[in-house]
Chain A
Amino acid sequence: MAPVARLPDWFKEAKPDICLTGGRGSRRGFVEKTLANLESFLRDTLYGENASAKQGLLQGITPHVRIAGIIILVASSAMTANAAMLGFIVAVAAIITLASRVSFKTAAKRVAPSFVFTFILSLPVFFSFMTPGAEVFGAGGAGINGLRVSVTREGFFSAAFFLTRVTTAVWLASLVVETTTQGDFFKGMIRLPIPAFFVTALFMTFRYMFILVKIAEDAALARKSRVIRVAALSESQRWFASRATFMLKRSIALAQEVNMAMASRGFNGVVKVIDGKGMARGDFLWLGFTVFVVLLSIRF
């Protein structure tokens, strides 16, 4: 008779589906949360859907004019106090999205976090206890501890206006990222009236972010793959301190190396752009249109 293979009892016990590496009582440990943050950053910036390679309205406009126009439109959405004008800016955002061949799904993904946050934040504004006025929907005479919980017309319009304004601004701002490659973005920033020192530092910051994110991701992944039980709080905090200090140390060491490399190559801190094309007719039209919209929003 063949021997029966028996599994030890400890092997048959149900285990949580993920290994918690810190943070008792939480389903996800702090390392998992950190890894999720880092992964979503890399996924969104490196591998995210982007319409910058497509032929479209915004893609056909010179980068610095495109960025300036979008900033002007965002300012318009922030300035208007008129619902019809805000509606017009929403329509403009929708037409630009369509004409630039950016998918509405991608735009919605960009806008969703701000929309949800602002909706939750502005929820009390809908109700009579925050915004008194004509009741349109609600508990009639009922309430909680004498507090009426009906939605008022004034509250609805006030909250809806605020929510639309915030969502439209985020939507418009997201069109820069969706229609511009990273190289074009910094090329455009250099040609805007911003100090060259600042734009160069911005460009370097963006590059270094990836190096530091990679270092941080490696550190978090290395810990996750080596830890098989919930670590003590003090030990987890020590790990955070060591990694943060290590990154700071690496940052400064790398900065010194880059500085020496820059100096040895005669770089004086100002990035020069090869593409020196002037503005085309489409650029003037785009800029003229955005200025027209901002003037309308000031008027209304």
Chain B
Amino acid sequence: MHIPDGYLGPKTCIAFYAVMAPVWYIASSRAQKSLKAAQLPILALGAAFTFVIMMFNIPVPGGSSGHMVGAVVVAIALGPWAGVVAMTLTLTLQAFLFGDGGLTALAANSFNMGVVMSFSGYYVYRVIAAGPAPSPKRRAIASAVAAYVAINLAAFAVVLELGVQPGLEAGLGGAPLYAPYPLSVTLPAMMATHLVFFGPVEALGTALVVSYAHKFNDGAILEAGKNASWKPLWAALIALIILTPLGLFASGTPWGEWGAQELGGIVGFIPSGMREMRGLWKGAMPGRLRRAGF
């Protein structure tokens, strides 16, 4: 998940620093405001917690073990803005002192593991575990789903960042200068491992910690994060609702949904499997409805 130096081109790195500069500023002031007096030590301890939790191996069925990122635990415990600051602190120390993740890629890594994981994890948890007194089972499921969704969204962000490099930054003759694989390679490679292995590890680890905290501490250590505003979630949902009709103005076939002839026109040939199977699927609608234009 930690992108090293040299994998992302300057355009991507600069874009992420431009995105993260205001986020870091807002996150710092929000974290100070929501955590009140104990802001500084609690942020530092949250960051130290994620650093150390990454060193803990969690036993998983089959005899193997993996480690979790811990961003969702910190987001649930301290709130999503504090989660962003804590993850940024951890990633900065890892980049400078331990060579984990790059200095030029620090903003991108903070975006993936700080912003994406903290916010998605926090709000998924809050939505599923909503209510005055959710049952322990619901709370465990909420934290597991939140962690699973969050780490896979973060992995997907990494997929996009690495996968666009060959198109964004190419040298003479189109040779890739940075991460060399296109989306068609990065997507299955990264998502398969996260959907099947790292996602369940993160889900299991987060569910265990949150459940244990509620069982033996009555959830008191997770209280600080409850004060976070719902505004970012509503803002994101409203933005998606507003942006959705933009699709109506798009022309041509959506990317990747080409017919056999269109694909032939783009790449110069029709793949044999596609040619053989193109008549197989007649559509979900019965013939009469299909002819009527549905």
Residues of A participating in the B interface, judged by any CB pair closer than 8 Å:
22-26, 29-31, 33-34, 37-38, 41, 44-45, 71, 74-75, 77-79, 81, 110, 113-114, 117-118, 122, 125, 130-131, 154, 157-159, 161-162, 165-166, 168-170, 173-174, 176-177, 185, 195, 197-198, 200-202, 204-209, 211-213, 216, 233, 236-238, 240-245, 247-249, 251-252, 254-256, 258-259, 262-263, 269
Q: A173-B95, A205-B44, A259-B41 are in contact. Are A78 and B6 (CB under 8 A)?
A: yes
Which one of B45, B99, B204 contacts A237 once the chains associate, using CB atoms below 8 Å? B204
Chain B nearest CB: distance from A213 CB in Å?
A: 6
Q: B229 an interface residue at 8 Å Cβ cutoff?
A: no
Assess whether A244 is in contact with B209, with CB atoms less than 8 Å apart: yes
Q: Mark B220-252, 1 if CB is under 8 A from A, else 0.
A: 010010000000000000000000000000000
Assess whether A247 is in contact with B59, with CB atoms less than 8 Å apart: no
Q: B168 an interface residue at 8 Å Cβ cutoff?
A: no
Assess whether A166 is in contact with B59, with CB atoms less than 8 Å apart: no
| Chain A residues closer than 8 Å to B205, beta-carbon distance | 240, 244
Q: For the complex, give the distance between the alpha carbons of A242 and B58 in Å.
A: 12
Assess whether B48 is in contact with A113, with CB atoms less than 8 Å apart: no
Total A-B contacts with CB atoms under 8 angstroms apart: 246
Chain B nearest CB: distance from A175 CB in Å?
A: 11
Assess whether A201 is in contact with B43, with CB atoms less than 8 Å apart: yes
The 3 closest A-B pairs by CB, nearest first: A25-B63, A169-B5, A204-B44
Q: B65 an interface residue at 8 Å Cβ cutoff?
A: yes
Residues of B participating in the A interface, judged by any CB pair closer than 8 Å:
4-10, 13, 24, 28, 32, 37-38, 40-49, 51-53, 55-59, 61-65, 67, 73, 77, 85, 88-90, 92-93, 95-99, 102-104, 169, 171, 173, 175-180, 204-205, 208-209, 211-213, 216-217, 221, 224
Assess whether B44 is in contact with A201, with CB atoms less than 8 Å apart: yes
Closest to B73 in A: A248
Chain A nearest CB: distance from B139 CB in Å?
A: 13
| Chain B residues closer than 8 Å to A195, beta-carbon distance | 28
Q: A41-B55, A71-B103, A241-B212 are in contact. Are A159 and B49 (CB under 8 A)?
A: no
Q: For the complex, give the distance between the alpha carbons of A238 and B217 in Å.
A: 15
Q: For the complex, give the distance between the alpha carbons of A245 and B70 in Å.
A: 12
Q: For the complex, give the distance between the alpha carbons of A206 and B52 in Å.
A: 11
23 A-B pairs whose Cβ atoms sit less than 8 Å apart in the complex: A22-B59, A23-B59, A23-B63, A29-B59, A34-B57, A37-B55, A45-B97, A78-B9, A158-B176, A158-B180, A159-B180, A166-B7, A198-B85, A198-B89, A207-B44, A240-B208, A241-B211, A241-B212, A249-B221, A254-B41, A254-B45, A259-B38, A262-B40
Q: A33-B65, A173-B96, A240-B208 are in contact. Are A205 and B48 (CB under 8 A)?
A: yes
Chain B nearest CB: distance from A231 CB in Å?
A: 9
Assess whether A26 is in contact with B65, with CB atoms less than 8 Å apart: yes
Assess whether A170 is in contact with B45, with CB atoms less than 8 Å apart: no
Assess whether A25 is in contact with B62, with CB atoms less than 8 Å apart: yes
Closest to B25 in A: A195
Assess whether A23 is in contact with B44, with CB atoms less than 8 Å apart: no
Assess whether B5 is in contact with A197, with CB atoms less than 8 Å apart: no
Which one of B56, B58, B93, B103 contacts A206 once the chains associate, using CB atoms below 8 Å? B93
Closest to A75 in B: B104
Further pairs besides A26-B65, A114-B99, A206-B93: 4, Cβ < 8 Å:
A168-B6, A204-B44, A245-B217, A252-B45
Closest to A71 in B: B103
Q: For the complex, give the distance between the alpha carbons of A158 and B213 in Å.
A: 50
| Chain A residues closer than 8 Å to B45, beta-carbon distance | 204-205, 208, 212, 251-252, 254-255
| Chain B residues closer than 8 Å to A238, beta-carbon distance | 208, 212
Assess whether B217 is in contact with A38, with CB atoms less than 8 Å apart: no
Which one of B52, B61, B97, B175 contacts A157 once the chains associate, using CB atoms below 8 Å? B175
Chain A nearest CB: distance from B164 CB in Å?
A: 16
Chain A nearest CB: distance from B137 CB in Å?
A: 15
Q: For the complex, give the distance between the alpha carbons of A114 and B62 in Å.
A: 28
Assess whether B63 is in contact with A26, with CB atoms less than 8 Å apart: yes
| Chain A residues closer than 8 Å to B208, beta-carbon distance | 237-238, 240-241, 244
Which one of A168, A207, A240, A263 contacts B59 once the chains associate, using CB atoms below 8 Å? A240
Chain A nearest CB: distance from B100 CB in Å?
A: 9
Chain B nearest CB: distance from A31 CB in Å?
A: 8
Closest to A243 in B: B56
Closest to A159 in B: B180
